[in-house]
Amino acid sequence: MPNAILSTIAIAASSLLFVTSVSSETLPSVVNQTAVVNPTVVSVFVSPNIPDVLELAGERVPIDGFGVRESLDKELIVNTYRHSSTILYLKKSSRWFPVIEKILNEEGVPNDFKYLAVIESGLSQVVSPAGASGFWQFMKKTAPEYGLEVSASVDERYDVEKSTRAACHYLKESYIRFGSWSLAAASYNMGPYGVEKRLDEQSVDNYWDLHLNSETGRYVYRMLAIKEVMSSPEKYGFHISSENLYLPHEVRELAVYENISNLNDFALKNGSNLKELKALNPWLRKGYLTVKPGKTYFISLPKIVTE
């Protein structure tokens, strides 16, 4: 009985605080999904508006097609209200999008595919439960097929520039195969054979009409939602000042033609340290580097030499 009384008092007190906070000031109106930040006012949550016209990689999205609007709505809500992850995406994009955009342009892949790296890895050097690694989540078996070295001391799936080029080659192959960038994106998740098989089975010719497993069925919508939120973050309530963005690393590159027996000693000898070396070269997987005859690696270190 005493516990029940205490619980009742606590609930009453909470209710009183809620009423006080609401009545102390009128709730702000929500314009373009942005609520005024005021510590004395309860939070306001709204459903994002779905744009009437959308494109992905230059291809028109059939927003009024069966299930399209609702599928996109789901992903927009998830990425609008999963605040911590989306804020980190926005901060990291300032560092990594310039690198990725340059390579996409050079390789002839639409700029929108930078958002594929976001949905694959969150612009982080992560490893999936299946063993896919790096920004672009290449499997160990697939990586060498696209020019990425995976050896005892080197794993170029973690090299952002090289893995971005490898992803471009994969996507261009898929585009040639399907004639559609949205299907090329879906094939990045399911594999080209899986996409082709389902197109044939269902006698349709586009991603938006395909019946797919849950993961691939959400995949392109996630990419589209991330593009929408990251292209107009303020519209969705994300306000990040320029000084809070993660800036690109300023580096100097050292060409390496022979084995390095101890990377810690190498870093110190070149005015850096192991922490900086590993952060800037995550493709170096061990404490040493084995260099095959005729091979050259470029190791990045901070432009400013550590005293």
What local confidence, expressed as pLDDT, does residue 2 receive? 45
Torsion sign, CA atoms 175, 179, 180, 183: negative
d(CA 207, CA 155): 33
d(CA 89, CA 233): 11
* Cβ-contact 163, 156 below 8 angstroms: yes
Domain boundaries, the chain: 1-46, 55-244, 251-302
Of 214, 300, 219, which Cα lies nearest the Cα of 263?
Answer: 300
CA distances from 255 to 164, 259, 260, 293 (A): 21, 12, 12, 14
DSSP summary character for residue 249: P
DSSP summary character for residue 7: H
Q: What is the chain's pLDDT, residue by residue, as a tens digit (307 residues)?
A: 444 444 443 444 333 333 333 333 333 333 344 445 555 555 677 888 888 889 999 999 999 999 999 999 999 999 888 889 999 999 999 999 999 999 999 999 999 999 999 999 999 999 999 999 999 999 999 999 999 999 999 999 999 999 999 999 999 999 999 999 999 999 999 999 999 999 999 999 999 999 999 999 999 999 999 999 999 999 999 999 999 999 999 999 999 999 999 999 999 999 999 999 999 999 999 999 999 999 999 999 999 886 6
What local confidence, expressed as pLDDT, does residue 43 receive? 62
d(CA 133, CA 149): 13
What local confidence, expressed as pLDDT, does residue 37 receive? 52
Would you state the structure tokens that stand for residue 207, as one six-digit string?
A: 């991603």
What local confidence, expressed as pLDDT, does residue 306 receive? 67
What local confidence, expressed as pLDDT, does residue 106 receive? 98
d(CA 120, CA 13): 45
Checking DSSP bridges between strand 251-256 and strand 59-60, what pairing results, if any?
unpaired
CA distances from 48 to 38, 76, 87, 144, 178 (A): 21, 7, 17, 42, 32
| Helices marked H in the chain | 2-23, 68-81, 83-107, 114-121, 160-178, 181-190, 192-202, 214-231, 263-269, 274-280
User: Is 55-244 assigned to CATH 1.10.530.10?
Assistant: yes
